[in-house]
Structures are given as structure tokens and as C-alpha cells.
Amino acid sequence: MKFAKVLKYSAWFLTFFLAGCAGNRTTENPMGDSGCVECGEQGEIELEIFDEKGFVEINPKLLKTLDFKAILGSFPTQKIVANCPEDEKICHSFSEDAVDFDLAHFEDSLLEKRFPQMVHEQMLEGLRIPESDSAKIKAEMENLLKLSFADGEPLNSLAPWEARSDSSIAYSAFDRAVPAKLQNALSQIGKKYNVRYLSIPVTAQVQILPDLGRSGGFTWKSLWTLWDARQGKLLILSYNRFTAKTTSRIAPERGWAKPFADRLDSALNRDPSTIENH
């Protein structure tokens, strides 16, 4: 394991540990018991997924020309919404940082498995991005997400994918041109930090529902993208929305991104020849 990756996991684990054990969603809003003595029962969280919608776009032509010796940079989730009713013990380990850590943990494993020969880098300050660029890259990413992409909507809008998704997960071949401004913004970031491919989780939104299922549940909504930054072209886009309820006594105090990861795994490994235009 590379030294940079060791640093990354150490920093994220510390963030997750502190977020999970602090006992506060914010300093003003208590979330339940403080400390880690009562972190809930340990064991496998069993979930039933329903009310699911999803849409996946894949660029078959571009996937056939991947440079497996290139560098793939992974940004953290750009916008996280983590909501939970006040004073719920089920939520004492739940926070935006915890959701970010959870999604990144699964994403890293999936990308390593799908693109094992690529060099994987984390687009984090102090790692692939110099500390001196902290404010600059934040502004650049905020601007990038506001640029027009599908249906005239900004990249960070979920509207185009919510309109396309149905009661299952639909797959479609990507055959639209990426607007020039978005192409250029992606290309500039790729050149500046010398990365060919970029994974950008645009958003992850989680709402805890303590009364759902046997031990609680949650809703999930996310948009995840993978780009060829050098060309400014989309490789894969995955929009997912679902509700998860527990079927066991183990509360969903972790693993919120697991159902999403299972679906992203299917998207990453889908045979491009089976994808049609829709």
C-alpha cells in the first residue's frame, strides 16, 4: 500500500471515529449517547431495498480505449446531506463525515477491483493536491458542478436522472456531447494535477428513518460520475435512489453506502456491448 494511501486512510478513519463517537451532529444538536461504549449491537446489518429508482449512462466506445497505465484520481463526495431526527440513539454515529467515509471506502475497493493496473490517487489536500491549492481547488470544483451538462441543467442537478429513471435501474449508452465549458474545466484539472481519469461523487443524501423496519432504516439518493479528464468526456454516470429497511435487530449505524456500492459494482462491470441508446 502506497504511503499516500496509508495517510489517507489514517486521516479518514480518525475523522470517522471522532464523528461517530462525539455524540453530536453539531455542537448545538445532540444526537444521543456520547462516547463509544454504546455504539449499538455489532453484526451484519440486514436490509430490504424498495422504492428503488436508478439510471446509468455508460460510454461504450470510450471504455474500449481506456489507458490502464494512467492515473485515476478520486475526489471526495462534493455535497453530502445527512439528516436524522433529534435525540435518536440510532444516529449517534451518523454524520456527513461518516457518510463520506462510508462511500469512499466502498468506492476505493470497487475502482481498485475494476481498474487494478491504474495508479489510484486521492484528490485530497496534502495528497494529490498541494495544501497551497486548498482554497483554489474548492472554488474550481464548486464552479465545475454549476456548469451545464444534461438537458441544460448543471452537473450537480439530479433532475435529468430522476426524469429518466423508473421503478428499476435503467442503462443507456452515453452519446451526447459534453458542453465545451465542462470539457475544458475537467481538462484543466486533469492537466494541473496530472491525472487522466477522475471519479467525482457529485452528491450523497441520506435520511435516517428510525421507525422503519425492525431496527430502523434510511433513504439514499446519490449521483456518481467517472470522467476521462484529458478528453473532457463522460465514462460512467450512476444515479441511485432507494429506501432501505432493516430486517434484523442490527441498526443501520454504518454501511449506508453498501446498497449503492452493489449497484455501482454492476455498472462498472457491465458489458458495454449490452448497452443501448435510450
Contact 228, 197 (CB under 8 A): yes
Q: DSSP E strands: which ranges in 45-188?
A: 47-58, 71-74, 79-83, 119-122, 169-173
Res 199 pLDDT > 80 = yes
| pLDDT tens column, 79-136 | 999 999 887 777 778 899 999 999 999 999 999 999 999 999 999 999 999 999 999 9
pLDDT digits (tens, 9 = 90+) for 21-42: 333 323 233 333 333 344 445 6
- Mean pLDDT score of the chain, rounded to an integer? 84
pLDDT recorded at residue 38: 44
pLDDT of 76 reads 96
* pLDDT at site 105: 93
pTM reported for the whole predicted model: 0.85
Alpha helices for 115-211 (secondary structure H): 134-146, 159-164, 180-193
Q: Answer whether residue 14 shows pLDDT above 60.
A: no
Q: pLDDT (tens digit, 9 = 90+) per residue, 68-87?
A: 999 999 999 999 999 998 87
At residue 42, the pLDDT reads 65
Judged by average pLDDT, the poorest of 8-22, 190-204, 214-228 is 8-22
Q: Model confidence over 241-274: pLDDT tens digits?
A: 999 999 999 888 889 999 999 999 999 998 877 7
Nearest 5°: the CA angle 261, 253, 75 is 40
Alpha carbon distance 243, 114 (integer Å)? 27
